[in-house]
A and B are shown apart, each in its own frame.
Chain A
């Protein structure tokens, strides 16, 4: 892999973000709104029922982590869609860049977009609701890394769809995460799901990540096995995502969709 080319591809997106205040505002706006919304909802539950005592921290932490996953996936898709919208797609695919370099550049750059949204939202939650995601401690790094890998994998799968089927696949980009959210057990334990859905949900890393988050926040227990399991599952999906992307690229070359792809 040529790191200079990966840097050039990343630079294109960094310039784009740096040169547009509305874009930065948009990246910060939605995660912050999420924090306000979930913060007030969980505060209301806490005040209205003793059953919901101490839920603000858990729900809000889950909201922040879920938003991190959502933003990482959407960031990945958005960067690829930018190439289609700007009709730069053909220029990119006739440049001497390996597919692995495109994947690497999108993977590394998505983190910037994601953190621009996540950091302000996480910091706002501290004074406003007395909730700090950083209370999770060192395992937070592993949970975020695993979420990021899975988010990028979802982005990679949607991107593969865009390459294969063209811009009409764009709607799937926005729907992909909402489809998985109920199975991710973000705000509730896996036991809530019917048994057959529990089996399917167990195949996703999300269940293990959010179960672990609750373990740490409620019982102050760190289950290393659960974290490793989540990371391993995420990696398997990531490798699968790469294979699907290459398969889509070959399919696009067969169908001729790489040339003149635009809005």
Chain B
């Protein structure tokens, strides 16, 4: 799916959280959405998921406007995972995945749920309550939920935050493999620059609600004369001595 964001603005009373941002993600590509805390990433993702109403601007998914009348149709092709949202803690992993499979209208529910459990190594705690899992296990369950409907557009908000290096690497490797074998467009918001370099085809850098740069990782690093994306991020985030 192709995602186009055109002149998107979000105002909360007098505060402008997102200032006229425009970018696009081509079909089956991964875009990294980067920026310091409070730069408007979550608000932008919220608008792209239909959770927040833009003050102005347009969001098009495969040429279809994201607006109330198209909401159900588009959402059934999309999904989202974030460590800041969870699945019902008192339900087992299996129950949660089955419920979300039904909500997304998945056909052959048992088959798809088993497939996800196999792929993401959930079998050992499949019948355990989600609230009793470690953060690494929860993270994999959350990823399984976000892929349950085989989304063609996936939003990931810091998918490896608070994970140990081993599990973090497992998740990144899984995403790489999944991308290779499936038609999927991904928007990845992350503070882990190594992860962005590994997974993303291009990046958009945001600061104070605006896009301050965009391009491939190499292009941005070269443009700012830095050695790595991490250095470039720091340069942009700290420019004008403005700590937010």
**Known contacts being A86-B86, A253-B52, A255-B12, is A94 close to B78, with CB within 8 Å?**
yes
Contact across chains for A91 and B49 when beta carbons are under 8 A apart: no
Contact across chains for B104 and A87 when beta carbons are under 8 A apart: no
Docked pose: A9 CA to B88 CA in angstroms: 12
Tell me the chain B residues, 102-146 only, with Cβ under 8 Å from chain A.
102-105, 129, 145
**Known contacts being A87-B85, A88-B86, A94-B79, is A19 close to B91, with CB within 8 Å?**
yes
Which stretch of A10-18, A44-52, A67-75, A152-160 is in the interface? A10-18
Tell me the chain A residues, 60-96 only, with Cβ under 8 Å from chain B.
82-83, 86-91, 93-96
Contact across chains for A94 and B102 when beta carbons are under 8 A apart: no
Contact across chains for B76 and A96 when beta carbons are under 8 A apart: yes
Contact across chains for A88 and B87 when beta carbons are under 8 A apart: yes
Contact across chains for B51 and A259 when beta carbons are under 8 A apart: yes
**Known contacts being A87-B86, A88-B86, A255-B12, is A8 close to B52, with CB within 8 Å?**
no
Contact of A258 among B46, B73, B82 (CB under 8 A): B46
Contact across chains for B51 and A88 when beta carbons are under 8 A apart: no
- Nearest CB to that of A260 among chain B residues? B84
Chain A residues closer than 8 Å to B75, beta-carbon distance: 94-96
Chain B residues closer than 8 Å to A174, beta-carbon distance: none
Is A2 engaged at the interface, CB distance under 8 Å to the other chain? yes
Min Cβ gap B85→A in Å is 4
Contact across chains for B99 and A260 when beta carbons are under 8 A apart: no
Chain B residues closer than 8 Å to A223, beta-carbon distance: none
Chain B residues closer than 8 Å to A169, beta-carbon distance: none
- Nearest CB to that of A255 among chain B residues? B12
Contact across chains for B88 and A94 when beta carbons are under 8 A apart: no
For the side of the interface on B, what is the size category? 35 or more
Chain A residues closer than 8 Å to B45, beta-carbon distance: 259
Tell me the chain A residues, 86-109 only, with Cβ under 8 Å from chain B.
86-91, 93-98
Contact across chains for B43 and A256 when beta carbons are under 8 A apart: yes
Docked pose: A7 CA to B10 CA in angstroms: 35
Chain B residues closer than 8 Å to A16, beta-carbon distance: 88, 90-91
Chain A residues closer than 8 Å to B49, beta-carbon distance: 94, 259
**Known contacts being A82-B88, A94-B80, is A256 close to B46, with CB within 8 Å?**
yes
Min Cβ gap A15→B in Å is 5
Is B53 engaged at the interface, CB distance under 8 Å to the other chain? yes
Tell me the chain B residues, 60-103 only, with Cβ under 8 Å from chain A.
71-73, 75-76, 78-80, 82, 84-92, 95, 98-100, 102-103
Contact across chains for B88 and A88 when beta carbons are under 8 A apart: yes
Is A4 engaged at the interface, CB distance under 8 Å to the other chain? yes
Is A254 engaged at the interface, CB distance under 8 Å to the other chain? yes
Is B216 engaged at the interface, CB distance under 8 Å to the other chain? no
Docked pose: A204 CA to B86 CA in angstroms: 40
B78, B103, B104 pick with most chain A CB within 10 angstroms = B103
What 16 new A-B contacts, CB under 8 Å, besides A9-B99, A11-B98?
A2-B105, A8-B103, A9-B103, A12-B95, A16-B91, A19-B90, A87-B84, A96-B71, A96-B103, A250-B53, A253-B53, A254-B53, A256-B12, A256-B43, A256-B52, A259-B42
- A-side residues, CB < 8 A to B, are 2, 4-5, 7-9, 11-12, 15-16, 19-20, 82-83, 86-91, 93-98, 250, 253-256, 258-260, 262
Q: Could you list 8 examples of A-B contacts with CB < 8 Å?
A: A5-B105, A15-B91, A91-B145, A93-B51, A256-B10, A256-B17, A258-B52, A259-B51
